[in-house]
Amino acid sequence: MLMVQLWNAPVDFSSIPVMVQLTQPIPLGGKRAARTDAARADASMAEAELAGKRREIETQVASAYFDLFLAERTLEVDDELEGLLKVLLQSSEARVSTGKGEQVELLRAQGSLVQLKSDRETAVDHRRSAWSRLASLLDRDLAAPTGTTTQPGMLTSLPEVSELQQRALRERPELAAARAQIAAAEAQARLAKASTVPDLGVFAAEMHVFRNPGGPSNFLFAGVQVNLPIFSGGKNRPRIASAQALVIAAQEATHALRNRVASEIAETYAHLLAEQHQIDLHHQLIPIARQTVESAQSSYAAGRTAFVMVLDSARELRMHELDLATHFAMYEQRLAELQRAVGADLGLERSAEAGHEERH
């Protein structure tokens, strides 16, 4: 600390003494090291919070993107169903005109087309909503073309739950922040204990007297000062106890967070496997549903099957197609959540861009 003092002014200007003093406090008892550790812990917490926010944004981007994929896939499935319903409408018109069919068949075909238009409007609304969220997260212009999404793939393998849990202990940003919080609390506890040790201060000063009638007059000063903590015991003991309690609280909070992270990983992992199994099952269901539609169409054209059988089989095919797209979207969103829970990349980007080989 630099101090400049002007003495004897403005009482008497016959001589002007000016003193320049340099003072340097020297903290003792480990205060400087404790403050350094506390500052480093604060920096580590800030870095961990930044990493956690990045992971959170990545998860939100994945959620919005695959909602957009699902909406676009719904529109594609509805286009396929619309083509099928138009063929059925033509067939029913031909059968009614020749007296082989009933008017109710024609009405049901027309009603199904109208219902499909309603479903398309819902899908268009979902697509706009998903694009709005995605554009906001990516800082894109809402008026810009959305482009097209690609059907995602599935990872060939995943690490075991226990391995992911151990990895999360090392890489999960929230756990890193919790460890930094413990370090900060411990540093504050050390600082509270060190406050019982008096600090040392050294100073050096030089005084010069201007306009001195007796001629130039300079003085040098040097000294050491120590604060005496005579009455500080009553303040320091509660301070130390409070700091130690904060250490225990930080440790318990970290332990609870570790348990929550382990549970979160196990739960998300189970959901991810369930979506994977659903995708495999729907790859078996869809070929059967398509064959059912083709068989029902042929039988209806030949007059061997009721119109309602064709319509129901077409709706069932649409349901399975949409379920498959839903499970694909949910699989990728669950994978993004698992990456968020672990705090490390597990292949989401690779899975999203790879696409899934069609098996039906």
**Percentage above 90 pLDDT, the chain:** 46
pTM: 0.79
**CB contact burial 160-197 (16+ within 10 A = b; e otherwise):** ebeebbebbeeebbbbbbbbbbbbbbbbbbbbbbbbee
6, 206 in Cβ contact below 8 A? no
Among candidate residues 189, 54, 51, 76, the one with its CA nearest the CA of residue 127 = 76
pLDDT tens digits for range 62-106:
999 999 999 999 999 999 988 888 888 887 787 777 777 678 878
Is residue 256 very low, low, confident or very high in pLDDT (cuts 50, 70, 90)?
A: very high
Specify the pLDDT at position 192. Answer: 83
358 pLDDT higher than 70:
no
Q: In the chain, where are the structural domains located?
A: 38-198+234-354
Q: Quote the CA–CA distance of 343 and 53 in Å, as a whole number.
A: 11
Compute CA distances 268 → 135, 300, 337, 339, whole Å.
Answer: 27, 46, 7, 10
How large is the average pLDDT for residues 217-230? 74
How large is the average pLDDT for residues 94-121? 83
175, 257 in Cβ contact below 8 A? yes
Specify the pLDDT at position 205. Answer: 80
Is residue 12 very low, low, confident or very high in pLDDT (cuts 50, 70, 90)?
A: low
Q: What is the CA angle 2-213-18, rounded to 5?
A: 10
145 pLDDT higher than 90:
no
Is residue 167 very low, low, confident or very high in pLDDT (cuts 50, 70, 90)?
A: very high
Residue 202's SS3 state is strand
* CATH architecture, range 38-198+234-354: Up-down Bundle (1.20)
Q: Quote the CA–CA distance of 69 and 150 in Å, as a whole number.
A: 7
Report residue 144 as tokens. Answer: 């810009």
Is residue 359 very low, low, confident or very high in pLDDT (cuts 50, 70, 90)?
A: very low
Report residue 72 as tokens. Answer: 């676009």
As a whole number, the mean pLDDT across the chain is 85
Amino acid occupying residue 66: F
Higher pLDDT, 248 or 355: 248
38, 187 in Cβ contact below 8 A? yes
302 pLDDT higher than 80:
no
pLDDT tens digits for range 274-296:
999 999 999 999 999 999 998 98
Among candidate residues 192, 186, 188, 191, the one with its CA nearest the CA of residue 233 = 192
Least confident of 96-110, 206-220, 232-246: 206-220
Is residue 222 very low, low, confident or very high in pLDDT (cuts 50, 70, 90)?
A: confident
The winner for highest mean pLDDT among 143-152, 167-176, 183-192 is: 167-176
Specify the pLDDT at position 282. Answer: 94
